[in-house]
Structure 1
């Protein structure tokens, strides 16, 4: 229980104790001083005051209950804001292989093994898949470097749906290609984001050239 809740209970108990003692004093005085008929008359004359006191006590108790509920709502909002502040997602990883990746006969999920930053531990360097830890808006970028002897074509997927792509055609005159793309995605908790390289295309590896990055913009 919160300190405010304890304080509220103490106030309620004190008021109730005061009312009980006051009633006891009134009845004790009646028993000692007055005959039966006078005692009944005095008790009846005191009842309106007691009723007013009890009404005031009830109104005070209701106000305290409203205040306690507001305090609880404020505490829940503060906790929710703290939870949002503690969820941090920042990712950058490079392909990390030596030389060219591809071309392959089928579309292939790129696994970025050279992890630069993985705050939140949301990306797996074993599968190449990013998994959203919370619902929110995320920002992702893909960049590649490739030679000109084959096409370069990367697709960024959300679950099973392609979101954006980056591509360049092969050329006998253009010996090096660079390209990229970026996107804001609204994700639910557990949604997956990854990059696939199209069949018969390639990119250049190493730890610096072809990268996949993302971060949480705002939690929803």
Structure 2
């Protein structure tokens, strides 16, 4: 029994000292034909890749191009609409800035003479674009600031002098006068002026005290318009 134990111990020590034999390498695995991963060709177009990735024959590139064309057309339409809006706004602005009026006295004969200076009222309105002239008071009230051109003309008989004065607010800016005549008959007179006005400024014509003008047949007029 002791002999058997000694034999087993000696054998075990020999195995440990020599080590376990290494397993022989097996044959290397050779790649089989067709087992390499499939690669895309360099000239494969984007549309084919998208089609294969989507797993369907839908033309994604054509869809994208068509969408881009539609978006481009919509952008052009929006630009055209914006341009039309700008033109409309400019047209409205220009229309709001148009101020033109022309009015004439109306009656059966002479206006005046009065004992005091009197604002001359031109009752018959031929033009009043912008509604700045008041045919009840005879006063033009500036609705748009800018440069204006004004004229006033009159007809007067020889039996009375005629004196008209144009005012900006209460500032005298222009006048016209006809002396009482003897044998020269009726006369015509007038004047014109360019004024720089602010919104709210008032322009009107006064008939000087103890003078007169002829009102019949629209022969005495007051006109004005916005230059710029």
Shift of the alpha carbon at 1:86? 3.4
The 1-side partners of 2:98 and 2:173 are apart by 23
Are 1:118 and 2:128 matched, yes or no?
yes
Q: State which drifts further: 78-87 or 96-105.
A: 78-87
Are 1:127 and 2:134 matched, yes or no?
no
Where do residues 49-68 of structure 1 align in structure 2 (5 Å cutoff)? Answer: none
The 2-side partners of 1:170 and 1:140 are apart by 26
Residues 114 and 207, structure 1, Cα contact 8 Å, conserved in 2: no
Are 1:163 and 2:173 matched, yes or no?
yes
Relative to the length of structure 2, the TM-score reads: 0.59
**Which of the residues 195, 205, 208 maps onto 2:205?**
195
Residues 96 and 130, structure 2, Cα contact 8 Å, conserved in 1: no
**Match of residue 215 from structure 1:** 225
**Match of residue 15 from structure 1:** none
Shift of the alpha carbon at 1:84? 3.9
Name the SS of the counterpart of 2:227 in structure 1.
strand
Shift of the alpha carbon at 1:171? 1.0
Relative to structure 1, is the Cα distance of residues 80 and 132 closer, same or farther in structure 2, using a 3 angstrom cutoff? same
Larger radius of gyration: 2
Instruction: Quote the RMSD (CA, aligned, Å).
Output: 1.9
The 2-side partners of 1:104 and 1:175 are apart by 22
Are 1:139 and 2:143 matched, yes or no?
no
The 1-side partners of 2:160 and 2:216 are apart by 18
Q: State which drifts further: 206-215 or 178-187.
A: 206-215
Residues 132 and 189, structure 1, Cα contact 8 Å, conserved in 2: yes
Relative to the length of structure 1, the TM-score reads: 0.62
Name the SS of the counterpart of 1:127 in structure 2.
coil
Name the SS of the counterpart of 1:201 in structure 2.
coil
Provide Cα deviations, 1:47-86, integer angstroms capped at 9, x if missing partner.
Answer: xxxxxxxxxxxxxxxxxxxxxxxxxxxx99x957852453
Provide Cα deviations, 1:175-197, integer angstroms capped at 9, x if missing partner.
Answer: 20100000000000010000000
Aligned residues: 144
Structure 1: runs of 5+ lacking an equivalent: 1-74
Shift of the alpha carbon at 1:147? 0.1
Structure 2: runs of 5+ lacking an equivalent: 1-84
Residues 156 and 178, structure 2, Cα contact 8 Å, conserved in 1: no
Residues 94 and 206, structure 1, Cα contact 8 Å, conserved in 2: no
